[in-house]
Amino acid sequence: MKKTTILGTGSYLPSRILTNQDLSKTLDTNDEWIVARTGIRERRIVAEGQTCSDLAYQASLKALDDAALTPNDLDMIIVATLTPEKRLPSTACLLQDKLQGSATQAKKAAVYDIGVACSGFVYGMSIADQYIKTGAMDRILVVGTEVMSKVLNWKDRSTCILFGDGAGAAVFGPAERDEKIILSTHLFSDGSLHSLLGIPDQWVEMDGKQVFRQAIESMAQASKLALEKAHKTIDDIDLFIPHQANSRIIEAIAKRLKCPEEKIFTNVDKYGNTSGASIPIALDEAVKQGRLQKGDLLLIATFGAGFAWGSALIQW
């Protein structure tokens, strides 16, 4: 069996910043409340006409560049999104088309979207891992991309303050050296809880308190399982990247896992919850900031609508 490595990462955030202060001009809310309850200070919002595949394209180019690969090298493109710009075809097809327009082509790749909300990137990474480990495919691009701003009710202060737009990507392939290896992925879902978080009509609606509780429970459980299966403890972890939904959720998971603050990566203050893009953006930023050194053990935990959640362990 082969091992899967991360060949490159990339991310893209739209340049428009929407601060809590900006929100307080049109909503009955304030910076103090939002920061105290969520840790979010600002989020990014797409420019007029900028779409989900546009964000994905920018993040993908960076990930491919980081991997020193061209779109033509890809065997598969998996896009995780809950905000596709069209019902048909998939955002992955639109991304493939945009990549074909760049230096070279991505024509031979098999491409599709997956609908696992905030957990989409970790599910995508797990799918890529299976194809690569078995030798069925060599180079797989996984992208998490979201234009959350178009599925938010901007009059509902309990939801619209939480989310932001952005994209993150990673290219996976067979390992030639023993570095940046996916050691394991662990995926879970419970569809009986679907009514607690979703888009029943036009906008994101949720039972905030239930989601809050379940997110902590689920990510802590999935993280513990990843550690147990690898015969590791939290002391062996060098960096922990949880889903960037809310700093209070992250603090509560850290407490359950007894994970010290300095081992946790967060950027939720800058971007809010970017759903499926949250993990790959955080991963890319952690890499670019030098937070991961060769041999480090990285724990990832994710959670979202479905509910669907999971974890991954990566040896850097």
Which residue's CB is nearer to ligand UT7, number 245 or number 298?
Answer: 245
- Binding residues vs ligand UT7 (CB under 6 A): 29, 33-34, 37-38, 118, 157-158, 161-162, 206, 208-209, 211-212, 215, 245-246, 273, 304
Burial of 221 (0-12, 13-18, 19+ CB in 10 A): middle
Tokens of 70: 């061209």
Catalytically active residues are: 118, 243, 273
- Yes or no: say if 244 and 274 are a contact pair by the CB < 8 Å rule: yes
Closest-by-Cβ residue to ligand UT7 is: 208
Assign 146 to helix, strand or coil.
Answer: strand
Query: What residues have CB less than 8 Å from 4, skipping those under 6 apart?
Result: 128, 129, 132, 133, 172, 173, 174, 175, 181, 182
**Which of 79, 126, 177, 146 minimizes the C-alpha distance to 302?**
126
Q: CA 157, CA 295: separation in Å to the nearest integer?
A: 43
Nearest approach, Cβ of residue 174 and ligand UT7 (Å): 32
Six-digit token pair at 100? 């074909």
Minimum distance from residue 197 beta carbon to ligand UT7 (Å): 6
Token pair, residue 79, equals 């896009």
Per-residue burial over 188-203, b = 16 or more CB atoms within 10 Å of its CB, e = otherwise: bbeeebeebbeeeeeb
Least distance (Å) between residue 148 CB and ligand UT7 = 10
Q: How far is the CB of 209 from ligand UT7 (least distance, A)?
A: 5
Q: What are phi and psi of 191, to 5 degrees?
A: -65, -15
Give the residue with the Cβ less far from ligand UT7, 84 or 306.
Answer: 306
Q: Which is nearer to ligand UT7, 110 or 151 (CB)?
A: 151
Alpha helices, H only, 258-314 = 268-271, 278-288
For 62-97, b/e burial (b = at least 16 CB within 10 A) is bbbebbebebbbbbbbbbbbbbbbeeeebbbbbbbe
In the complex, what is the shortest distance from the CB of residue 211 to ligand UT7, in angstroms, rounded to a whole number? 4
Q: In angstroms, what CA-CA distances link 34 with 29, 249, 261, 262, 269?
A: 8, 14, 21, 23, 10
Identity of the residue, 147 or 162, whose beta carbon is nearer to ligand UT7 in the bound complex: 162
- Comparison of 8 and 164: residue with beta carbon closer to ligand UT7: 164
CB of 255 to ligand UT7, least distance (A): 16
Output 183 or 199, the one with its CB closest to ligand UT7.
Answer: 199
Q: For residues 8, 14, 17 and 20, what is the CA-based torsion angle, rounded to 10 degrees?
A: -70
